[in-house]
Chain A
Amino acid sequence: MARSTSKDAQALFQSLRSAYTATPTTLKIIDLYVIYAVFTALIQVAYMAIVGSFPFNSFLSGVLSCIGTAVLAVCLRIQVNKENKEFKDLAPERAFADFVLCNLVLHLVIINFLG
C-alpha cells in the first residue's frame, strides 16, 4: 500500500510540475515574488520566536510589509492571468497601476509604524 501511495504522490508531483512549466513567465515572476515575500516573513517569525517580540511594532511592521505585498501580488496575478474569465475586461496595466499605488501606500504605513 505504501508503495502505491508514494508512486501516486510522485505521479501527482510530476503532473503538477509539467502543468506549471506551461504557465507564462509573467505569472512565474509574480509567483517568485510572492515566494520571496513569504520567505522573508517566515525568517522574521522565526527570529521573533527566538528573541521574543520586544519591539513589537517593528515586528508587525516587518511581517506585514511582507505579507501585505504578497497579498497585493496575488491580487495582481489573479487580475493579470489571461485564463481568468472574471477579469477579462480589465486591462493588465490598470491592475498594475493599482498594484503600484497600493504598495506605495502600504510602504508608507509600514515605515511610519516601523519606529
Chain B
Amino acid sequence: MARNLVPFLVLLFWISICQAASIFQPISDSHRYAALELFRPTDGVFGSLEETYEVLRTFDILGIQEKPDINAATCKSVSEVLGSSAALKDLFYALNVNGVLKCEIKEEIYESITSRLRTVLNDARSLSEFYYSIGSLLLLKEQSSGVDLSLMDADGIFQSIKALSQSDGRWRYSSNNPESSTYAAGLALEALAGVVSLASSDIDQNMIGTVKNDILKLFDSIEKYDDGALYFEEKVVDAYEHHGPLATTSSVVRGLTAFTAVTSGSLNLPGDTIFGLAKFFLGIGVPGDAKDLFNQIDSLACLDTNRVSIPLILSLPATVLSLTKEDQLKVRVNTVLGSVAPRLTVKIVRAFLSGSKDTSVIEGEELKFDTQTSLHILEAFPKTFDVGNYVFVFEIILHDSEQMDIYATGGRIRVPIYVSGVVKIENAEIAVLDSDLGSIETQKKLDLVGESVVSLSANHLQKLRLLFQLATPQGHGFKPHQAFLKLRHESGVEHIFVVEGSGKQFEIILDFLGLVEKFFYLSGRYDIQLTVGDAVMENSFIRAIGHIDLDLPEAPEKAPRPPLQPVDPYTRYGPKAEISHIFRAPEKRPPKELSLTFLGLTFLPFLGFLIGLLRLGVNLKNFPTSTVPATFAFLFHLSIAAVILLYMFFWLKLDLFTTLKALGILGVFLVFVGHRTLSHLASTSAKLKSA
C-alpha cells in the first residue's frame, strides 16, 4: 500500500535539493515520504503506545491515507491498557491513540478510568501527574458521551499547578525538585489549558492574567538564529530529562496554543514571535529521527490553527532564473502545513542589484495569481533586465483586511535571486610585446569558443598581453567573480593571475622582467589556461589557450627553489622491477680432450725415467740374499708402497684425521723396518770397505 505512493512521489517531487537560507519551504511531500520511511510497523504495532500515538498523529496531520494497517493489534493493546490499572502515562497515550483510531471501548471502562483519574487529580503533587490526568480527562470528554467530566475544584487545581512556576516563566516538575525547565513550562501550560476547558465554572481571570504574564516572561528567554528563527533551549544540560531545542520548543508551542485557544483576550507577544517559531520548525527541513519529525509536524499543526496569529509562508520554487530560458518569477504562499492560503496578492516592493541598494530595477509591481497552479507569477521582466544577483523585497497583501489579525504575513521578505544568462565574450587576443617600446612582436586572435590553440614564445625582456571583452545580454559591462590566467610549467609549477577589467574590457599584461624571480627562473614551455566564471554566467568556461615558450635567465645561486610538486599516487606505489643476482661466471674450462692429452704428456717423463734407468743398466745386485734382511727390505718397500696407497685413498675418500691415524701406525712400522734394513745395508757396505 505504502509502496504505491513512493514511485509517484519520486517522479514528481524528487528533483528539489534544499531550501535557501532565508527562504523557508512549507511542509511538502518530502515530509510525507520521510514519514512513511521512518514510521514502519514491526509485527503490526509501532512499538509503545507513545510511539503509536506519534505515528498516527503525524500521518493524520500530513493527510497520508496509505497508512499501514495496525488497527487490530493496536486496538487490542489499547483496550488492555484502558481495562487494567496501568500507569498514568500509558493511560494518557492509550486514550490519545484511541482518539485517532476510535476503537470500541465499553462505557464502564470509561467510567472507571474517570473515577480513577479524579482520585489521582485530587492527590496530585507533581507536574507530570497533573499533566497526564488532566490530559486524559480532556480526551475522555471527546471520546465518551455519558461520563461527567467537569472539574469541581478547578481553581484549586489551577493554583496547585501555578504554584510550581518560577519567576522567570519556567516551571518545576515537582515541589521537591528545585530544577526548573522550559519543557516543563510547556507541559504546565497545556495542563492549565485543560483545567480551564474542563472547569465547571469559570476560572478567576486574575489567575489567567498571571499565567499570561508568565508566558511573556518565558518568551523573554527565547533564542534567535541569524535567519530570524526563534527557539527555546534548556539551559541546564544535566536536568531531570534532557530535551533538545526541538522538543523544548515543541512543548512550549503546544502549551501556548492550547492556552490561547481556551482563554479570551490577546497575548501581547511581539509580532514576529509566531513567525519566528514557524521559521525554526520549517528550517529543520526533513528530520531523520521519528520523534523529531513528530515534534516538527505536531508543532506546525498547532501553529497552523493557533489563535495568536497564523503564519503565512512565502516561498519560491526557484530562486535561480535564466534569461536565456526565459524563466518566469514564481512565488507561492501557503500555510505552514502547505495548505491553501486565503486570498491575497504578492507585491514586489522593490528589486535591486545586491551591490547597489539605492537604484531599484523594479518597484511596486504586483504579481498575477494563476489559479491553476496556485502560483503568483511575474509575467515578464522589464526590458532592460540584465543578469546579476538581485534582492527582491516581497510583501503579502491580504484581500480581506479583517484577516490581518488572524494571519501573520511576515512583513517585508527579502529574497536573493540569481538571474543568469549568457555573457558574450569577444575580441579576445593575445600578444607578445617588447618591453620598453611596447611594440607588438606577435599578436594572435583567440577563439575562446572553439578548440584552437596558439603557440607563442618570449624571453624575459618581453611582456605577454591578453585582452578580451565581456558583455551581458543587454550589452553592459560584466565583472565576473572568477577571471584567472594560469601559466603552468612542464615540471608542474603553476602561477595564477587575476585578469582585471573595467566596464567591458578585460586586460592583463605579464611583464616577465618583474616575474623572473616569481617563476623561479624556470625556462621552458608554459601551458596557458584562461578560466572565466561567475554565478550568473551560464557559459562559464575553462580554456586551454595554448602554450608559450619562455626563455628566462639562469638562476643565481641564492635563488629560491621551486616548490615540490606532488608525486602521482598511482605511480608511487606499485611493484618494482625484479632483480636476480648475476652470479660470478665460472672459470672457462678447456675442452676435456686437452686435459686428457696433457695427462698423457705428464706420464711421458715417467716413461723417460724408466727408459733412462734401463739405458743406464741398473741392477738389483745389492739386494740382501739372506732371508731375514731380505724380508725386512721387502717389508720396507712394501710399507712405502702402503703409505703411497694410503695417500691415494686419502685423496679419493678419506679425511685427514683417519689418514693421520693410519699413517701413524704405518709410520711406526716403516721406521722400524727401514731402520733394520738400512742398518743392515750400512753394515754390509762398511764390511766391504774394510775388506
Please say whether the chains A and B touch (CB closer than 8 A).
Answer: yes
Residue A102 at the chain B interface, CB threshold 8 Å: no
**Residue pair A43, B601 in contact (C-beta under 8 Å):** yes
**Binary contact readout B584-616 vs A (1 if CB under 8 angstroms, 0 otherwise):** 000111100011001001101110110011001
The minimal Cβ–Cβ distance linking B677 to chain A, given in whole angstroms, is 9
Residue B369 at the chain A interface, CB threshold 8 Å: no
Alpha-carbon distance between A54 and B682 when the two chains are bound, in angstroms: 47
* B594 neighbours in A (Cβ, 8 Å): 50-51
* B404 neighbours in A (Cβ, 8 Å): none
Q: Of A3-11, A12-20, A26-34, which binds chain B?
A: A26-34
Alpha-carbon distance between A82 and B616 when the two chains are bound, in angstroms: 20
Q: Which residue of A lies closest to B681 (CB)?
A: A93
**Residue pair B647, A32 in contact (C-beta under 8 Å):** no
Of the candidates A43, A50, A107, the one whose C-beta lies within 8 Å of that of B647 is A107
Residue A87 at the chain B interface, CB threshold 8 Å: no
Residue B169 at the chain A interface, CB threshold 8 Å: no
Alpha-carbon distance between A36 and B611 when the two chains are bound, in angstroms: 11
Alpha-carbon distance between A94 and B650 when the two chains are bound, in angstroms: 29
Q: Which residue of A lies closest to B655 (CB)?
A: A112
**Binary contact readout A17-59 vs B (1 if CB under 8 angstroms, 0 otherwise):** 0000000010011001101110110011001001110100000
Of the candidates A29, A47, A91, A111, the one whose C-beta lies within 8 Å of that of B650 is A111
Decide: A32 near B613, CB < 8 A? Known: A51-B594, A52-B588, A114-B651: yes
**Residue pair A108, B616 in contact (C-beta under 8 Å):** no
Alpha-carbon distance between A91 and B678 when the two chains are bound, in angstroms: 10
Residue A100 at the chain B interface, CB threshold 8 Å: yes
**Residue pair B643, A54 in contact (C-beta under 8 Å):** no
Of the candidates A29, A54, A91, the one whose C-beta lies within 8 Å of that of B613 is A29
Question: In the complex, how many residues of chain B place their beta carbon closer than 8 angstroms to a beta carbon of chain A?
Answer: 38
**Residue pair B616, A28 in contact (C-beta under 8 Å):** yes
Q: Which residue of A lies closest to B587 (CB)?
A: A54
The minimal Cβ–Cβ distance linking B611 to chain A, given in whole angstroms, is 10
The minimal Cβ–Cβ distance linking B485 to chain A, given in whole angstroms, is 72
The minimal Cβ–Cβ distance linking A82 to chain B, given in whole angstroms, is 11
Decide: A29 near B598, CB < 8 A? Known: A39-B608, A107-B647: no
Residue A75 at the chain B interface, CB threshold 8 Å: no
The minimal Cβ–Cβ distance linking A66 to chain B, given in whole angstroms, is 9
Which residues of A (67-109) have their CB < 8 Å from a CB of B? 91-94, 96-97, 100, 104, 107-108
* B647 neighbours in A (Cβ, 8 Å): 107-108, 111
**Residue pair B651, A40 in contact (C-beta under 8 Å):** no
Decide: A111 near B651, CB < 8 A? Known: A40-B605, A43-B605, A47-B598: yes
Of the candidates B612, B644, B648, B678, the one whose C-beta lies within 8 Å of that of A93 is B678
Q: Which residue of A lies closest to B608 (CB)?
A: A36
**Residue pair A32, B616 in contact (C-beta under 8 Å):** yes
**Binary contact readout B656-673 vs A (1 if CB under 8 angstroms, 0 otherwise):** 100100010001001000
**Residue pair B674, A97 in contact (C-beta under 8 Å):** yes
**Residue pair B601, A93 in contact (C-beta under 8 Å):** no
The minimal Cβ–Cβ distance linking B606 to chain A, given in whole angstroms, is 7
**Residue pair B663, A108 in contact (C-beta under 8 Å):** yes
**Binary contact readout B616-631 vs A (1 if CB under 8 angstroms, 0 otherwise):** 1110000000000000
* A35 neighbours in B (Cβ, 8 Å): 612
* B685 neighbours in A (Cβ, 8 Å): 92
Alpha-carbon distance between A39 and B605 when the two chains are bound, in angstroms: 6
Q: Which residue of B lies closest to A56 (CB)?
A: B587
* B640 neighbours in A (Cβ, 8 Å): 100, 104
Q: Which residue of A lies closest to B649 (CB)?
A: A111
Residue B159 at the chain A interface, CB threshold 8 Å: no
The minimal Cβ–Cβ distance linking B448 to chain A, given in whole angstroms, is 77
* A104 neighbours in B (Cβ, 8 Å): 640, 643, 667, 670
**Binary contact readout B333-377 vs A (1 if CB under 8 angstroms, 0 otherwise):** 000000000000000000000000000000000000000000000
Alpha-carbon distance between A43 and B606 when the two chains are bound, in angstroms: 12
Residue from B602, B616, B617, B651 having most chain A Cβ neighbours under 10 A: B602
Alpha-carbon distance between A55 and B180 when the two chains are bound, in angstroms: 104
Decide: A112 near B601, CB < 8 A? Known: A28-B616, A36-B606, A36-B609: no
Residue B474 at the chain A interface, CB threshold 8 Å: no
Alpha-carbon distance between A43 and B663 when the two chains are bound, in angstroms: 31
Residue B201 at the chain A interface, CB threshold 8 Å: no
**Residue pair B587, A32 in contact (C-beta under 8 Å):** no
* B122 neighbours in A (Cβ, 8 Å): none
**Residue pair B674, A40 in contact (C-beta under 8 Å):** no
**Residue pair A40, B602 in contact (C-beta under 8 Å):** yes
Residue B482 at the chain A interface, CB threshold 8 Å: no
* B659 neighbours in A (Cβ, 8 Å): 108
Q: Which residue of A lies closest to B677 (CB)?
A: A93
**Residue pair A36, B612 in contact (C-beta under 8 Å):** yes
Q: Which residue of B lies closest to A48 (CB)?
A: B598
Alpha-carbon distance between A98 and B343 when the two chains are bound, in angstroms: 144
**Residue pair B590, A51 in contact (C-beta under 8 Å):** yes
Q: Which residue of B lies closest to A42 (CB)?
A: B605
* A33 neighbours in B (Cβ, 8 Å): 609
Decide: A93 near B651, CB < 8 A? Known: A43-B605, A52-B587: no
* A39 neighbours in B (Cβ, 8 Å): 604-605, 608
Q: Which residue of B lies closest to A41 (CB)?
A: B605
* B674 neighbours in A (Cβ, 8 Å): 97, 100
* A96 neighbours in B (Cβ, 8 Å): 678
Q: Which residue of A lies closest to B648 (CB)?
A: A111
The minimal Cβ–Cβ distance linking A92 to chain B, given in whole angstroms, is 8
Residue B221 at the chain A interface, CB threshold 8 Å: no
**Residue pair B602, A25 in contact (C-beta under 8 Å):** no
Which residues of B (296-355) have their CB < 8 Å from a CB of A? none
The minimal Cβ–Cβ distance linking A91 to chain B, given in whole angstroms, is 5
The minimal Cβ–Cβ distance linking B598 to chain A, given in whole angstroms, is 5
Residue B679 at the chain A interface, CB threshold 8 Å: yes
* B650 neighbours in A (Cβ, 8 Å): 108, 111-112
The minimal Cβ–Cβ distance linking B589 to chain A, given in whole angstroms, is 7
In the complex, 8 of the A-B residue pairs with CB atoms within 8 angstroms, ordered by the A residue number, are A33-B609, A36-B612, A51-B595, A54-B588, A94-B682, A97-B678, A107-B644, A108-B663
**A32-B612, A51-B595 are known contacts; what are 13 more A-B pairs with Cβ within 8 Å?**
A25-B616, A29-B613, A29-B618, A32-B616, A35-B612, A39-B604, A47-B601, A50-B594, A52-B587, A93-B679, A108-B647, A108-B650, A112-B656
Q: Point out residues on A near B: beta carbons under 8 Å.
A: 25, 28-29, 32-33, 35-37, 39-40, 43-44, 47, 50-52, 54, 91-94, 96-97, 100, 104, 107-108, 111-112, 114
List the 6 closest A-B pairs by CB distance, nearest first.
Answer: A36-B609, A39-B605, A93-B678, A51-B590, A54-B587, A93-B682
